[in-house]
Structure 1
Amino acid sequence: MNNHITNRRHFLQTTGGGFGILALRSLLAADNPKPMNALSPQFAARAKSVIFLFMYGGPSQVDTFDPKPALDRWNGKAIPTFRKEDAFAPATKATAMRSPYTFARHGQSGLEISEKFPHLARHADELCVIRSLHADSNNHGPALFQMNSGFVQSGYPSMGSWITYGLGSENENLPGYVVLTDLNGAPVNGAMNWSNGFMPATYQGVPFQSVGSPILYLKRPEGVSVAQQRHRLDFIRKWNERYSAANPDESALSARVAAYELAWRMQSHAPAAVDISRETKATREDYGLNHKITEYFGRNCLLARRLVERGVRFVQIYSGGNKGLTAWDAHDNLKENHDRQCAQTDQPIATLLTDLKQRGLLDTTLVVWGGEFGRLPTHQGSAGRDHNPFGFTMWLAGGGVRGGLTYGATDEFGYAAVENKVHVHDLHATILHQLGLNHKQLTYPHLGRNFRLTDVEGSVVKSILA
């Protein structure tokens, strides 16, 4: 091999322009030196960005947004819709378990919301509640993959990757796809949940830290000055341009240098994006940063607003981590679990909607709330609920959807979707549609075929669109 090429590649790999290689790995494209330039949607879009509030573990629909009076009447009795083969946990029973919570109607729409969301209930007329979601797996890992990528297997691009692939980013100084995990860590599957799959690495989600340096290993190394780092990058670019002129068909190294330049810009812009000290005290308190129970999730919601305000295309916030019984996975004690998770998230989410609306961002930001599945309306043990992919609830707000609307329905027990059923593929198709992307035309070639987020299925749920 040419010694010039060998030495050049070794130089790029070892110096890294003064950036940690792990930070760069999340920014590199396979063959496009400018893959994140803003692109025009395929048709007129109602939304420019998405904030996905992911309630990891599976919130119970019958205890949050889908009240079922029949559970009171059947409490402790075997319900006719239960099938033992549907259960994930051996301790799951056929007996109905009433909700420990009361529901009330809110707003002009009269939307029914659990008592556990007193702050969010004030936004009833802005919520589009879909009660008829269904998915294909009752296991967290595959269900997370499907909700994120459309497939129950790993190895496929996540929704944020598809969106940034289709639209690029409006801010050249920040990633187009940012992930904010829970205080208790990432969900099961870890970084595979925001994977780029078979797409270039540029399109994968970039985890941000809510305190300190927003991106691990991005900080300038000790002993390297700004001038030294800039000189090194200029030297790399000059060398690369000389090589590219002689080898026009090889673009991987150009992409690498473009990643160095992005990392350089992010060193200045990313810390400012997460610097919430620039927010007023009142704003920080509205998000719950002055209370331990809401501080962490509230900070992430505030960061999400700051990021979409700066043109970040897709922000995913996880509630629930994989360290101990800290997610929405209420196998043992539903009330204890949902008391905690609702208390952590209610005020921050409500404030996020208020803040987006006041700043004129809600009309162009699609907010999505939900988990990988719901929960069965029967007992697991004495006080818990098992996984339920057969019928569960998610809601949308802003971004051109109809507020104050309830769409679809589960059966009288909340066991399975029976009316206007919405599969995960339909949800994904609808989200893409609001961003001006046709889910059938947004494709990526791999292994001899064109892949889609919605695979070969999915329909836009037009009835929920404003």
Structure 2
Amino acid sequence: MTNRRDFLKGTMQGLAAGAMASALPNFAQARDLSPGLNGILGSPHTPAKAKRVIYLFQSGGPSQLETFDYKPTLDKRHGQQLPAEVRGDQVLTGMSAQQSSLPLARSVYDFKQYGESGAWVSELLPHTAKIVDDLCIVRSMHTDAINHDPAITFLQTGFPIAGRPSIGAWLSYALGSDNPNLPPFIVMVSTNAGGQPLYSRLWGNGFLPSIHQGVQFRGGADPVLYLNNPPGLDVKSRSKLMDKFKQLQDAQYQQWQDEEIMSRAAQYDMAERMQKSVPDATDFSDEPDWVFEMYGPDSRKPGTYAANCLLARRLAERNVKFTQLYHQGWDQHDNLPGGIKAQCEKTDQASAALVTDLKQRGLLDDTLVVWGGEFGRTNYSQGKLTETNYGRDHHPGCFTMWMAGGGIKPGIVGETDEFGYNIVKDPVHVHDFQATLMHLMGVEHEKLTYKYQGRRFRLTDVHGKVMKNLLI
């Protein structure tokens, strides 16, 4: 006769065995292909116009008034107070709130119109000016956050508080990779750029399996930390070690049924493959001189923004799904004329070269390139204003981004008022931008969700709409 304890024990063992039997084939497949390679969707929700994304993130908030949003009114009213009716009820930072006045500041840099679109571009961006007919310049971006950390986190994860998956992680989770030998999500941060700090959680996986977090490539001899075999361990010995490790992972998974074990095993598999693929991708010795000349002299210096742009093109050729470059130093609260000039000199040529290079190689049509920061800058000066010097505070109410390729329609989208303080036409919220980016990759943002702690989450939270006026 079976007692109650034996009956329950036998029942639970039977259920566990059934669950294990259904899960183990998936785990075996995951070990061979890695759970990040196929994607949860299997195939996109809709036909994708872009196969990959290169996101050139300009950390700190580039001033739209010195780059793409020309305002003659500021020339005429330089030094006058920002009208109360223009400011309205918009929140100021603590820095601006302490000022007794908010004097309007004109840009010291000249603007001219370029291309068939007649886009106004600053003299600071001569190389970008040459490619405006390939760009969709969105002058009506706006966001919810007024300080750097929540604003960057909001743009990268859809929420101002840390802990949610980044855009690249969501795309990795949804679509996987087209190259089994490289991660689907790769991140690069310019060396010696300075400025506001960046955190790895900006390219993190949040509550998604860890296989979907961004893998950071660094400049120098070892682009990926701990990828090389340690001294005294050859390839054959490493392979035997990995075989034993996989056996242990199998045993651990059978015991705990934890999906994170699958991710960990897949990451080791990927690292083993990357020992061959990363040196090939990061070796620029096969690039001709004219390519380095196109990207600028810094492209020969590993880790610089220019070198990272060139590497981004090489990764696009290798079908990496999402490549993100971070370049710091755009936070000019004072001495803006000098600070922004230095930033444009570091980034303008390489950014334009990347678009041109992708286009001439036939990659731009299915590669979406994005350029922009976390918010814009005020039309008034923070601190002392002179004829040649001023600073600008954070301004979430309007800022400019540009996109190119990957199903984006070139031209000008959006308009701000004559003071460059409020949006008057075609506003694009951060969630709208995220929804549009996902749509171009064939992912419908409302359908891609992940259940965590009893709730289904998505990149755009409960907001966002695809901006069809940006699409071809």
**TM-score bracket, shorter-length normalisation:** 0.7 to 0.9
The equivalent of 1:201 in structure 2 is 210
Contact 1:210 1:274 survives alignment (8 Å): no
- 2:467 counterpart (458, 461, 466): 461
The residue type paired with residue 36 of structure 1 is: L
The equivalent of 2:453 in structure 1 is 447
**CA displacement at 1:158 relative to structure 2:** 0.7
- 2:197 counterpart (174, 181, 188): 188
**CA displacement at 1:174 relative to structure 2:** 0.9
- 1:45 counterpart (16, 33, 48): 48
3-state SS of the aligned residue for 1:104? strand
- 1:74 counterpart (61, 72, 77): 77
3-state SS of the aligned residue for 2:87? coil
Distance 1:359 1:458 in 2: 33
The residue type paired with residue 246 of structure 2 is: R
Give the TM-score normalised by structure 2.
0.86
The equivalent of 2:227 in structure 1 is 218
Which digits, 9 at most, give the CA deviation of each residue in 1:395-428, with x for residues without a partner? 110011111x111111111112222111100000
Distance 2:61 2:291 in 1: 30
Contact 2:445 2:460 survives alignment (8 Å): yes
Where structure 2 has 5 or more consecutive residues not aligned to the other structure, the ranges are 1-29, 385-389
Map 1:414-425 → 2, pairs under 5 A: 414-425=420-431
Which digits, 9 at most, give the CA deviation of each residue in 1:190-241, with x for residues without a partner? 1121111111111111110132111111111110011111122223335555
The equivalent of 1:95 in structure 2 is 103
The equivalent of 1:399 in structure 2 is 406
3-state SS of the aligned residue for 1:113? strand
Contact 1:440 1:452 survives alignment (8 Å): yes
Contact 2:114 2:130 survives alignment (8 Å): yes
- Alignment pair present for 1:341 and 2:343: yes
- Alignment pair present for 1:228 and 2:229: no
**CA displacement at 1:251 relative to structure 2:** 5.2
The residue type paired with residue 218 of structure 1 is: L
The equivalent of 2:25 in structure 1 is none
- 1:298 counterpart (306, 312, 315): 306
The residue type paired with residue 70 of structure 1 is: T
Map 1:168-187 → 2, pairs under 5 A: 168-184=176-192, 187=196
**Change beyond 3 A, Cα 1:240–1:389:** closer
**Change beyond 3 A, Cα 1:292–1:116:** farther
Contact 1:294 1:345 survives alignment (8 Å): no
Which digits, 9 at most, give the CA deviation of each residue in 1:43-93, with x for residues without a partner? 101001111111110001111011001101110001212368423424654
The residue type paired with residue 230 of structure 2 is: P
Worse-superposed segment, 89-98 or 389-398: 89-98
**Change beyond 3 A, Cα 1:46–1:88:** farther
Map 1:100-115 → 2, pairs under 5 A: 100-115=108-123
Structure showing greater radius of gyration is 2
The residue type paired with residue 99 of structure 1 is: S
* RMSD (CA atoms): 2.3
**Change beyond 3 A, Cα 1:291–1:151:** closer
Distance 2:348 2:193 in 1: 20
Give the TM-score normalised by structure 1.
0.87
Distance 2:220 2:303 in 1: 12
Determine what percentage of the aligned residue pairs are the same residue: 45
The equivalent of 2:59 in structure 1 is 56
The equivalent of 2:359 in structure 1 is 357
The residue type paired with residue 288 of structure 2 is: T
Where structure 1 has 5 or more consecutive residues not aligned to the other structure, the ranges are 1-28, 321-326
